[in-house]
Structure 1
Amino acid sequence: MRSMNTAERRARLALRHRLCAPARTDDVLEIVRSVLVLHATDPATVHLSVAARSVHAVPAAMEKALYEDRTLLRMLAMRRTMFVAPTDLVPVLQASTANALAARQRATYARMIERGSDVTDGPALFVRAEEAAHEALLARGRATGAQLSADVPMLRTQVEMAPGKSYSRATNITTWVLVTLGCEGRIVRGRPNGSWTSSQYVWSPMETWLPGGIEALPAAEARADLVRRWLRVFGPAPAADLKWWTGWSAGDVKKALALLDVTEVDLGGATGLVLSDDLEPTPAPEPWAALLPALDPTPMGWQERGWFLGAHGPLLFDRNGNIGPSVWWDGRIVGGWAQRRDGEIVFRLLEDVGAGARAAVVREAARMAEWYGDVRAIPRFRTPLERELTA
Structure 2
Amino acid sequence: MGRTRRYVDGAERRARLGVRHRLAGGARAAGPEEVTGSLVALHGTDPATVYLSVGARLAEPAGTVASTERALYEERSLVRMHGMRRTVFVFPAELTAVVHASTGMAVAARERAKLVKDMATAGAPDADWLADVERATLAALERRGQATAAELSGDEPRLREQFVYAAGKSYEGVHTVSSRLLTVLGTEGKVVRGRPLGSWTSGQFRWAPAPPHPELDEAAAQAALLERWLRCCGPATEADLKWWTGWKVTDVRRALAAAGAEEVTVDEGTGFVAPGGGEPPAGPAGPWAALLPALDPTAMAWQQRDWYLAPELRPALFDRSGNVGPTVWWNGRVVGGWAQRADGEIVWRLLGSGDVGREAGAAIAAEAERLAGWVGATRLTPRFRTPLERELTG
TM-score, normalised relative to structure 2? 0.94
Kept after mapping to 2: 8 A contact 1:106/1:126: no
Structure-1 separation of matches of 2:171 and 2:237: 44
Calculate percent identity across the aligned residue pairs: 53
Which residue of structure 2 lines up, in the alignment, with residue 265 of structure 1? 264
**1:179-218 alpha-carbon deviations (Å, 9 max, x no partner):** 1112212122111111100121121222xxx3xx111111
1:85 aligns with 2:86: no
Secondary structure of the 1:307 match is coil
Among 183, 186, 189, the alignment partner of 1:185 is 189
Which residue of structure 2 lines up, in the alignment, with residue 253 of structure 1? 252
1:372 aligns with 2:375: yes
Structure-2 separation of matches of 1:303 and 1:327: 19
1:275 aligns with 2:278: no
C-alpha distance 7-135 of structure 1, shift in aligned 2 (>3 A): same
Moved more, 232-241 or 160-169: 160-169
Secondary structure of the 2:228 match is helix
Structure-2 separation of matches of 1:223 and 1:269: 24
Kindly state the Cα deviation for residue 129 of structure 1 after the two structures are TM-superposed.
2.2
Secondary structure of the 2:334 match is strand
Give the aligned residue type for 2:385: R
Structure-2 separation of matches of 1:40 and 1:353: 32
Which residue of structure 1 lines up, in the alignment, with residue 107 of structure 2? 101
Gaps of 5+ in 1: none
Structure-1 separation of matches of 2:267 and 2:250: 26
Which residue of structure 1 lines up, in the alignment, with residue 309 of structure 2? 309
Among 111, 124, 129, the alignment partner of 1:119 is 124
1:172 aligns with 2:176: yes
How is 1:4-153 mapped onto 2 (pairs within 5 angstroms)?
A: 4-57=8-61, 58=63, 59-116=65-122, 118-119=123-124, 121=126, 123-153=127-157
Cα RMSD (Å): 1.4
Give the aligned residue type for 1:89: L
Kept after mapping to 1: 8 A contact 2:237/2:268: no
How is 1:285-304 mapped onto 2 (pairs within 5 angstroms)?
A: 285-304=285-304
Kept after mapping to 2: 8 A contact 1:185/1:214: no
Kindly state the Cα deviation for residue 79 of structure 1 after the two structures are TM-superposed.
0.5
**1:254-284 alpha-carbon deviations (Å, 9 max, x no partner):** 1111212222111135111112311222232
C-alpha distance 268-195 of structure 1, shift in aligned 2 (>3 A): same
Structure-2 separation of matches of 1:81 and 1:110: 21
Kindly state the Cα deviation for residue 168 of structure 1 after the two structures are TM-superposed.
4.2
Structure-2 separation of matches of 1:61 and 1:141: 22
Structure-1 separation of matches of 2:55 and 2:315: 26
Q: Which runs of 4+ in 1 moved over 3 A?
A: 164-169
Kept after mapping to 1: 8 A contact 2:227/2:261: no
Which residue of structure 2 lines up, in the alignment, with residue 218 of structure 1? 217
Kept after mapping to 2: 8 A contact 1:158/1:171: yes
Kindly state the Cα deviation for residue 67 of structure 1 after the two structures are TM-superposed.
1.0
